[in-house]
């Protein structure tokens, strides 16, 4: 369930390229989303061994060749979810020492301070994510593993 909400929150922030930008006052360009992404990435620390994509700029044109527009905050959310995935993978890695796993869970709980959590998730969805973290802390990583399998890139992917 958490995996579906995670994907839905990220996907729902992309805007259609239909309509004039002036008719979509909250729409921003691909380059503007990259600025958002880089600003958010500057305040987040990735899990060891991970690095931010060199160019986080999304597609600038839709399949019809028209400019692709994005909802304000989309770049921030993408950075938040990339960061979150890096720490989820660390937490789930069986080679990670227990103290490092505890540190990863502490990092994961910081998701509550992100734009993704605060602006993109409804209270019911926040509860699902909170439960995923709570279950993981109790040793049940099923929900977290499902979320990673469905939503998270590997190292070096975006």
Return all residues near 155 (Cβ < 8 A) that are at least 6 apart.
49, 50, 51, 86, 89
Name the more confident of 106 and 157. 106
Structure tokens at 83: 């960061």
What CA–CA distance (Å, rounded) separates 102 from 80?
Answer: 20
pLDDT above 80 (res 18): no
How far is the first Cα of the chain from the last one, in angstroms, to the nearest whole number?
22
Structure tokens at 28: 């921003």
Tens-place pLDDT, residues 31-82: 999 999 999 999 999 999 999 999 999 999 999 999 999 999 999 999 999 9
Largest CA distance in the chain: 53
Closest C-alpha among 90, 84, 88 to residue 111: 84
Instruction: Dump the DSSP string for 110-140.
Output: GGGGSHIIIIIS-HHHHHHHHHHHHHHHTT-
pLDDT at 153: 75
Return all residues near 150 (Cβ < 8 A) that are at least 6 apart.
3, 4, 6, 7
Least confident of 33-37, 70-74, 129-133, 150-154: 150-154
Q: What percent of the chain has pLDDT over 90?
A: 78
pLDDT at 7: 46
- The per-type count for the chain, helices as H runs and strands as E runs, is 7, 2
- Burial status of residue 103 (CB atoms within 10 A of its CB: 0-12, 13-18, 19 or more): middle
């Amino acid at each position: 369930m958490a995996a579906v909400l995670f994907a839905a929150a990220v996907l729902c922030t992309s805007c259609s390229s239909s309509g004039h930008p002036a008719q979509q006052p909250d729409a921003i360009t691909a380059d503007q989303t990259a600025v958002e992404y880089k600003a958010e990435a500057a305040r987040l620390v990735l899990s060891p061994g991970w690095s931010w994509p060199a160019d986080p700029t999304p597609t600038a044109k839709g399949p019809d060749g028209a400019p692709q527009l994005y909802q304000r905050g989309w770049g921030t959310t993408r950075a938040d979810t990339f960061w979150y995935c890096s720490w989820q993978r660390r937490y789930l890695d069986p080679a990670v020492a227990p103290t490092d796993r505890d540190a990863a869970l502490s990092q994961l709980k910081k998701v509550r301070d992100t734009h993704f959590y605060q602006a993109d998730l409804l209270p019911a969805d926040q509860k699902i994510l909170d439960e995923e973290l709570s279950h993981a802390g109790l040793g049940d990583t099923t929900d977290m593993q499902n979320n990673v399998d469905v939503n998270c890139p590997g190292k070096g992917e975006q």
